[in-house]
Amino acid sequence: MYGSENNRDDSERTAFRRAEKKYKLYYDNNASSKNKKKKQPKPVDLTEVLDFRAILECYLRNGALPPGVIVLHDNFTSPVFSLQNRPGFYFIPGALTIEKQCSLIKESLTDFPQPPNRTNHNAIYGPIQDVFGAAKEGKVLVEDNSPIPSSETGADIDNGDCKEWKFATQKEASLRKCKSVSASALLRKLRWSTLGLQFDWSKRNYDMSLPHNKIPEPLCELAKQLAKSALPAGVEFRPEAAIVNYFGLGDTLGGHLDDMEADWSKPIVSLSLGCKAIFLLGGKSREDTPLAMFLRSGDVVLMAGDARECFHGVPRIFTDEENAEIGHLETQLSHEDDLCFLKYIQTSRININIRQVF
């Protein structure tokens, strides 16, 4: 992602890029011989990272707030915070109940990546049914040598030579002697899925011609309620599209703008699930020094108005037991039927961001 800047020294990097580099996961190559088999992450200085959970606890205890942080008194279970120097940015710590977090984690892995919703796998394999279920059963995706009829491929699907891919058992795959990839590998390489109006990453726009399912009504209602903090009284938010991002150990989301929607006065509603992450909120130029803040499971971020013009990204997620801070999810997902979800989320983060397109 950042290969073009690998050989630059810090004086040549933008302020945003320097912050990304500061918090990104790097490994210590000088680990002791005893630990050489297990790579050790290099220590990172987190003293300047804004912690809205700690701010919330302090505010509830004595009403105190750090300089530059403002609290809005809304009808949410948790206060809504904003920043004086980043108008249009709102942070709601712990906005989602544990039950809602677990429900959204399950949907993000089982329902949201299902066709006709698109994922990053579409470009190579076409639409794939139930990657999570296939991974749970230890299946393998194999190439079917019979071409798919053109009426079934659709103009929106680009999967190489238009061969069909199907899940099979390990034994079936070994007998077929064709291209294959394990479902578990596909699950780990799942990077995004799209709900509602489908975003075409190659053209960087919303393609109205692509088939899609509507955003589930409960998720729409949740987004509408959360968006109220970022909107004038009486103005309604219409959830029309959502992108679900999946992060594993070492994954990052580079600094970017979400600028493909028509009305920037309407917020992006961003829900965090799973392992803790660092979020960078910059300014309107990459040269503006970004603020770093922790994002934990259940936190919600809203970006509207001026904040829509601010560069932002995720340079780090924490999957180690000490820093992931997912004990509440481990307790909630401890039932035997939920262990497959627990295993995934113990080393992953999911972000659901909902948008009004028009």
| CATH code, domain with 325 | 2.60.120.590
Residue 1: inside a domain, yes or no?
no
Q: Which two tokens stand for residue 78?
A: 């948790």
Counted domains in the chain? 2
pLDDT by 10s per residue, the chain, length 358: 333 344 456 666 899 999 999 999 999 876 554 555 678 899 999 999 999 999 999 999 999 999 999 999 766 678 999 999 999 999 999 999 999 999 999 999 999 999 999 999 999 999 999 999 999 999 999 997 644 443 333 334 344 445 789 999 998 888 877 889 999 999 999 999 999 999 887 788 899 999 999 999 999 999 999 999 999 999 999 999 999 999 999 999 999 999 999 999 999 999 999 999 999 999 999 999 999 999 999 999 999 999 999 999 999 999 999 999 999 999 999 999 999 999 999 999 999 999 999 9
Q: Which two tokens stand for residue 340?
A: 């497959």
DSSP-derived secondary structure for 23-64? HS--EETT--GGGTTSPEEPP---TTSB-HHHHHHHHHHH--
Clarify whether residues 195 and 63 are in a common domain: yes
Please tell me the predicted confidence (pLDDT) of residue 318: 97
Clarify whether residues 80 and 214 are in a common domain: yes
Please tell me the predicted confidence (pLDDT) of residue 28: 85
Spatial distance between the Cα atoms of 146 and 183, rounded to a whole number of angstroms: 21
Clarify whether residues 208 and 244 are in a common domain: yes
Residue 153: inside a domain, yes or no?
no
- Structural contact between residues 87 and 71, judged by C-beta atoms closer than 8 angstroms: no
- Structural contact between residues 27 and 42, judged by C-beta atoms closer than 8 angstroms: yes
Please tell me the predicted confidence (pLDDT) of residue 3: 39
Residue 3: inside a domain, yes or no?
no
Other Cβ atoms less than 10 A from the Cβ of 113: the count is 28
Spatial distance between the Cα atoms of 154 and 150, rounded to a whole number of angstroms: 7
Place of tokens 């991974």: 135
Spatial distance between the Cα atoms of 154 and 117, rounded to a whole number of angstroms: 14
Q: Which two tokens stand for residue 144?
A: 């079917």
Residue 235: inside a domain, yes or no?
yes
Positions at the binding site? 256, 258, 312
Clarify whether residues 174 and 214 are in a common domain: no
Q: Which of 101, 172, 135 is nearest to 325 (CA)?
A: 101
Q: Which of 308, 285, 307, 316 is nearest to 14 (CA)?
A: 285
Residue 35: inside a domain, yes or no?
no
Residue 32: inside a domain, yes or no?
no
Clarify whether residues 268 and 209 are in a common domain: yes
Residue 156: inside a domain, yes or no?
no
Helical H runs in the chain?
15-23, 52-62, 98-110, 122-125, 131-136, 150-153, 170-176, 183-188, 217-227, 321-324, 327-332, 339-345
Clarify whether residues 208 and 287 are in a common domain: yes
Clarify whether residues 70 and 169 are in a common domain: no
Q: What pTM was estimated for this model as a whole?
A: 0.90
Please tell me the predicted confidence (pLDDT) of residue 74: 63
Q: Which of 294, 228, 238 is nearest to 76 (CA)?
A: 228
Clarify whether residues 134 and 209 are in a common domain: no
Clarify whether residues 212 and 298 are in a common domain: yes
**CA 141 to mean position of chain CA atoms:** 25
Range of the domain at 339: 15-22+46-110+191-355
Positions at the binding site for Fe cation? 256, 258, 312
Spatial distance between the Cα atoms of 247 and 127, rounded to a whole number of angstroms: 21
- Structural contact between residues 310 and 86, judged by C-beta atoms closer than 8 angstroms: yes
Clarify whether residues 308 and 242 are in a common domain: yes
- Structural contact between residues 330 and 173, judged by C-beta atoms closer than 8 angstroms: no
Strands 140-147 and 180-182: antiparallel
Clarify whether residues 199 and 279 are in a common domain: yes
Clarify whether residues 234 and 347 are in a common domain: yes
- Interhelix angle 217-227/98-110, rounded to 10 degrees, is 130
